[in-house]
Amino acid sequence: MIDSVTFSLILALVVAASLISLKVGISVAIIEILVGIAIGNAIGINPGDHDWLLFLAGLGSVVLTFLAGAEIDPEAMRKTWKVSVTIGMLSFLVPFLGCWWFSYLVLGWTWGASLLTGVALSTTSVAVVYVVLLETGLSKTATGKVILSSCFITDLGTAIALSVLFTGPNPLFFVVIAAIGLLAWLLPKYLDQVLRKLRGRTGEPSVKIVLLLVIALGALAEQAGIHAILPAYVLGLIMASLLSRNKDLLMKLRTLALAFLTPFFFIVAGMNVSAASLISGGVLILVLFFLKIGTKFIGVLPASLKLVRKDSVYLTLLMSTGLTFGTISAQFGYANGLIDREQFSIIVMVVILTAIIPTIIAQRFFEPREAGDA
Amino acid sequence: MTDNSVLVKRILVAVDGSESSSKAVGMAATISRDLRAELAIVHVVEMDEFPTLIAEAQDESKEEMGEIILADAIKLARLSGIEPKPKLLMGHAAGQILRFAEEYSPQMIFLGSHGRSPERKLFMGGVSEAVSRKAKVTVVIVR
């Protein structure tokens, strides 16, 4: 049963986080996590005691992942896929292997916790990189398209790893793959016509159809032991062209997600963080932070140097950022007992720092001076 | 004796809709007219830091507001008899102003002293400070 007092309190926090975000000009997701940490530790709300809260948070992460996938430019991906896959996989694999081995061999964390750490710290924030490409005038160029497509591949690597590494053999796995394949074939052909017929109808049937697809595919995946973010992300990629032609529908989905669903995900992530663990694990947080940045540099800088030369350090720093997929991975690990609360707190704080610090360093010290293609 | 005089052919003024940036436009327009220099007015639509979705970075309401700020600045410059070149940019204000300055090559840059809120300055620094520190030409910060 929904506890109306807790629900109201969290809605109040959602509103407060939005207002703070407007005031400081920082993404609302970060503010929501920080507000969650503050309130969760101050009054001791345990999200685990409220099934409805965990459900909303889980739904928020799945819909957010779908929307992130839907932002891809399929045409650019088609044209640049060879280079993008190479750069994107390097950007995923090097930090993943580095952080996994470090936490297993040096920190002595369990096999599952180490793998999870590798996955959570392998991510790249597509949105942050997009802003850089826009600023440098690269967003419409071939170079910019390669870079952005590479970021989508990195996140796809994270989604695949999160779904495949922590699941045992299950015959339903192939059913999910077949369902995704079938949707990839059917949706571009038929859904466009259906959505066109339903456009502007009261009751928003178009929104409901898209939500049904995302949630039903996620439910099927969970039956197969696969994290729902993989099908959600792939479904987003499949529907990207279609949604870009249905801007009104996309806007409604974003409004629903950002106003009501994703705040629960980020606030719950914050509430699960233990302030005491952040203090005792301060050194480890810094070590993992530098490890992620260092391994991203090893994985991305050579390709970055070849592609953009002058702005390569700037770009590599921004490809080291990551928030959404890192937080989703940590939350998945905690919910499934792969990591304990202390490890969760440390990983989430590293994820937050990697979202903030590389951007600040990039802008203050490596701000490019000239626009143009390399 | 060497001649250190600089021929001012182009002036750049960056606006953010604040009172001090309006004063900067007035001053830059007057000087442009007197020196017969070209005037460019830029406004940078600042995006939220650390966005989670590309959509978050593409806030259309901020772009619309940016167009209004730029239109107001153009009207102000026309009062001095100057027809300015407007430019709407997106991203981080200081970096974008500096990037545009590299391209436009002005001899002077004018800015208002009050731009970002103190909270935003805390995270990302002040725009006028960053521009005056990094620009290769004379920067005038108008109070």
Cβ atoms of B109 and B139 closer than 8 Å: yes
A89 pLDDT above the threshold of 90? yes
Q: What is the pLDDT of residues A14-28, one digit of tens each?
A: 999 999 988 887 889
Helices first, then strands: H and E counts in chain B = 6, 5
In this prediction, residue A367 carries a pLDDT of: 60
* pLDDT-based confidence at residue A88 (cuts at 50, 70, 90): very high
Task: Kindly state the percentage of chain B with pLDDT values over 90.
Answer: 55
* Continuous H helices in chain B: 19-35, 54-57, 60-78, 93-104, 118-124, 127-134
In this prediction, residue A355 carries a pLDDT of: 86
For chain B, domains (ranges, CATH) are: 17-59+66-142 (3.40.50.620)
Q: What is the pLDDT of residues A244-289, one digit of tens each?
A: 888 889 999 999 999 999 999 999 999 999 999 999 999 999 999 9
Q: Does A21 touch chain B (CB under 8 A)?
A: yes
A345 pLDDT above the threshold of 90? yes
Q: Taking all residues of chain A, what is their mean pLDDT, rounded to a whole number?
A: 89
- Residues in A closer than 8 angstroms to B117, CB to CB, are 23-25
Picking from B51, B103, B119, the nearest residue to A131 by CB comes out as: B51
Closest CA to A103 of A88, A119, A114, A92: A114
* pLDDT-based confidence at residue B104 (cuts at 50, 70, 90): very high
Q: What is the mean pLDDT of residues A299-313?
A: 80
B102: closest chain A residue by CA: A370
Q: Does A246 touch chain B (CB under 8 A)?
A: no
Using the CB atoms, write b or e for B14-46: b if 16+ within 10 Å. Answer: bbbbeebbbbbbbbbbebbeeeebbbbbbbbbb
A76 pLDDT above the threshold of 70? yes
Cβ atoms of A38 and A9 closer than 8 Å: no
Q: Does B96 touch chain A (CB under 8 A)?
A: yes
In this prediction, residue A362 carries a pLDDT of: 77
Out of A119-128, A133-142, B87-96, B103-112, least confident range: A133-142
Q: Tell me the range of A3-12, A102-111, A132-141 where mean pLDDT is highest.
A: A102-111
For chain A, domains (ranges, CATH) are: 4-365 (1.20.1530.20)
The span from the CA of A59 to the CA of A73, in Å, is: 25
* pLDDT-based confidence at residue A32 (cuts at 50, 70, 90): very high
Q: Is A46 exposed, middle or buried (0-12, 13-18, 19+ CB in 10 A)?
A: exposed
* pLDDT-based confidence at residue A1 (cuts at 50, 70, 90): low
Q: What is the pLDDT of residues A161-180, one digit of tens each?
A: 988 888 877 888 888 889 99
Q: Is B5 exposed, middle or buried (0-12, 13-18, 19+ CB in 10 A)?
A: exposed
* pLDDT-based confidence at residue A371 (cuts at 50, 70, 90): very low
More confident residue, A310 or A90: A90
Using a cut of 0.95, tell me whether the model's pTM lies above it: no
Using the CB atoms, write b or e for B54-87: b if 16+ within 10 Å. Answer: bbbbbbeeeeeebeebbebbbebbeebebebebb
* pLDDT-based confidence at residue A211 (cuts at 50, 70, 90): very high
* pLDDT-based confidence at residue A2 (cuts at 50, 70, 90): low
Count the neighbouring beta carbons within 10 Å of the beta carbon of residue B136. Answer: 11
Contact B123 A26 (CB under 8 A): yes
* pLDDT-based confidence at residue B48 (cuts at 50, 70, 90): confident
In this prediction, residue A373 carries a pLDDT of: 38
ipTM of the complex: 0.80
The span from the CA of A6 to the CA of A333, in Å, is: 25
B4 pLDDT above the threshold of 70? no
- Which CA distances in Å does A120 have to A35, A101, A151? 21, 13, 15
More confident residue, A65 or A198: A65
Contact A30 B103 (CB under 8 A): no
- Dihedral, A160, A163, A167, A170 alpha carbons, nearest 10: -80
Fill in the amino acid letter for A292. Answer: K
Mutate to test the interface with B, among A31, A65, A135 (most CBs of B within 10 A): A135
Task: Kindly state the percentage of chain A with pLDDT values over 90.
Answer: 54
